[in-house]
Amino acid sequence: MKAVSCQDCGLRKFEVFRANTKEEVDFIQAFKRKHVHLAAGKLIVREADSADLYTLYSGWAFRFKTLSDGRRQILNFLLPGDLIGLQDQVAEVSPHGVEAVTDVELCQFARDGLWDLFRNFPSLGYDVTWLASQEERMIDENLLSVGRRTALERIGVLLMHLYKRSIALGVAVDGRVPFPINQQHIADAIGLSLVHTNRTLRRLYKLGLYEVREGWLALPRPGALERLAEYFETPVRRRPLI
Amino acid sequence: MKAVSCQDCGLRKFEVFRANTKEEVDFIQAFKRKHVHLAAGKLIVREADSADLYTLYSGWAFRFKTLSDGRRQILNFLLPGDLIGLQDQVAEVSPHGVEAVTDVELCQFARDGLWDLFRNFPSLGYDVTWLASQEERMIDENLLSVGRRTALERIGVLLMHLYKRSIALGVAVDGRVPFPINQQHIADAIGLSLVHTNRTLRRLYKLGLYEVREGWLALPRPGALERLAEYFETPVRRRPLI
DNA sequence: CGAATTTTTGAACCAATTCAAGTTCGGTGG
DNA sequence: CCACCGAACTTGAATTGGTTCAAAAATTCG
């Protein structure tokens, strides 16, 4: 099943993504094994299991780690265009799990083909590194939140962050962006309990700083939220797509 | 000043580091600009400033982020062989600072030379990605700690982690490894206050699970500490060195 | 419509912070 | 050699931000 060819890739139409040469896209096409559909809630990568390399084509997912008693930490959320499983190419076994939030489509790449990519197209190798560095920056920011920010600030940063990423992707409608995660996801991402996450969200809502309706997020006063959260990162202008 | 040539690199003698071909080492040598000495406590990279690419040649350092009111989060510790400033090649401005814990020596590389490296030596490009992924895994683990582990577990994981990295480097003497950080560093790394970090360390000490004397760390019962911290990662066998 | 999931709220409790004050350690100069 | 100084470590007491347990209200979905 190869439902989507890389030459006609729907994601490439978005202007966040840097253009590739025809040769590069042809190589990516050859590198691609299948186009995979997976239902919401399914595991894309199992913890402590070997894993393939994917690009998330549509939908949302998240990377996570768990402890034996069930405590779970969401490391970061994955949106269309994000690479999945790079760390697993380097390790024998995946140090984290990946779960689909919504129904997702994935571009699955050739196992062990990563080295070929670097050798044949150094420019694509560079792009992979770019994406890895980018992801690391997001996790750094999350670590700062979880380690040092108050509950209100943490949620503020997370909402702003996801909002900006969606805006960059160009999927906003009327200033609202799709928001498929629930409060348990938020709690797991910011290192707080569900109950306290709920109370804090309620507080933010009463301050008129956020609103979720029918799976869409609005931030009525983004400037105020940015100041409260002390989070001013500008969204990435243009980024690679593999 | 080019005090250390890459061909005679002191680090390459350690067996943790993968061997490179003569051509690769020659390229790295050409890529290197200077050998830098910096005193303990000095900044290697300023937050929100542009930065070069380095490899830490000797000593310890750490990456960190701060908030405007002084709250500081240490993202991870850097030991000899670690790359510094990769994220900054991708961003215009460094999203984090880097500070020397001890006196350090650094191999400073050509600004903007990273793309040449990928083009001329894809194998080295692959190595850079490998190191980036490796660092991300460490931060993932730290995020799990700070988000979900108890104070005792967090400290346990950090101590085990640093201990194992030093063992891998082969710098242990009599089961003890150099431990140049103080309790404030530990507190900043695990997202707890200095006071609570101290109390928790004291508790670990009374359990006979750790001991620091004259800047050297010993873990008398590593198995017990691993179980308590639920941290079983095996140290990396062999890794690239740029 | 009814069942399941998600969100919301209350109340008791606890882990961690803050503030404050000692104590010990390492180094430096008289 | 020891007295002194600053930095790092240690401890106590009061407070607070966040958790846990429990249950109700709202929403989603078959």
What are the tens digits of pLDDT across the range B185-196?
999 999 999 999
Q: How far apart are CA A242 and CA A158, in angstroms?
A: 26
Measure CA A189 to chain center.
Answer: 12
Q: Which residue has the tokens 């700690």?
A: B145
Write down the number of H helices and E strands in chain B: 8, 11
Selected residue of B67, B82, B96, B129 to mutate for chain A interface (largest A Cβ count, 10 A): B129
Q: Which nucleotide, over all strands, has the C1' atom closest to the CA of B202?
A: D10
Q: Nearest CA to A30 among A83, A109, A133?
A: A109
- Structural tokens at position B119: 């083009």
Asked whether residue B51 carries a pLDDT value surpassing 90, the answer given is: no
- Residues A96 and A47: beta-carbon distance below 8 Å: yes
Residue A9 CA to its chain's centroid (Å): 19
Structural tokens at position A27: 């190589």
**Cβ–Cβ < 8 Å for B201, B183:** yes
B176-178 and B32-38 strand pairing = unpaired
- Predicted pLDDT at B20: 95
Q: What's the angle, vertex CA A219, arms to CA A216 and CA A222, rounded to 5?
A: 150
Nearest residue in B to A233, CA atom: B95
* Residue A216 burial (CB count, 10 A): 17
* B125 to A126: CB separation less than 8 angstroms, yes or no: yes
Give the span between the Cα atoms of A6 and A32, in whole angstroms.
8
Query: Which tens digit of pLDDT belongs to each residue from B53-93?
Result: 999 999 999 999 999 998 999 999 999 999 999 988 878 88
For strand C, is any atom closer than 7 Å to the CB of A198? yes
d(CA B62, CA B9): 22
Which among B9, B44, B39, B58 has a CA at the least distance from the CA of B171?
B58
Average of per-residue pLDDT values in chain B: 94
Distance (Å, whole) CA A75 – CA A26: 33
- Smallest CA-to-CA distance from A101 within A180, A184, A190 is with A180
* Secondary structure class of A192 (helix, strand, coil): coil
Is it the case that residue B2 has pLDDT exceeding 70? no
* A residues 13..72 contacting B (CB < 8 A): 63, 65, 67-68, 71-72
Q: Which residues touch strand D (CB under 7 A)?
A: A 150-151, 191-197, 199-200, 214; B 182-184, 194-195, 198-199, 201-202
Per residue in B168-227, pLDDT tens?
999 999 999 999 999 999 999 999 999 999 999 999 999 999 999 889 999 999 999 999
At residue B240, what are phi and psi to the nearest 5 degrees? Answer: -75, 165
In this prediction, residue B145 has a pLDDT band, given cuts at 50, 70 and 90, of: very high
Which pLDDT tens digit goes with each residue over B80-139?
999 999 988 878 889 999 999 999 999 999 988 899 999 999 999 999 999 999 999 999
**Nearest CB to A143 within list B71, B75, B91:** B75
Cα B217 from Cα A48, distance rounded (Å): 30
Alpha helices in A52-150 (DSSP H): 86-90, 114-120, 122-148
pLDDT above 90 (res B17): yes
The reported pLDDT for the residue numbered B90 is 79
Enumerate residues 170 to 229 of chain A having a beta carbon within 8 A of any beta carbon in chain B: 190-191
Helix axes B151-169, B194-206, angle to 10 degrees: 70
- With contacts defined as CB-CB under 8 Å, which chain B residues touch A143? 65, 73, 75, 139, 142-143, 146
Higher pLDDT, B23 or A236: B23
Whole-number pLDDT of residue B4: 77
Query: Does the structure show a pLDDT above 80 at B236?
Result: no
Residue B150's nearest nucleotide, by CA–C1', is: C15
Each residue of A183-201: pLDDT tens digit? 999 999 999 999 999 999 9
Residues B47 and B62 sit within 8 Å (Cβ to Cβ)? no
Q: What digits encode the pLDDT tens for the residues A4-28?
A: 789 999 999 999 999 999 999 999 9
The list of chain A residues with pLDDT below 70 reads: 1-3, 235
Contacts with A214 (C-beta within 8 Å, 6 or more apart), sequence order: none
Q: Give the residue from chain B lying closest to A84, CA to CA.
A: B133
d(CA A174, CA A45): 35
Give the strand pairing for A72-78 and A61-66.
antiparallel
Helices (H), B149-182: 151-169
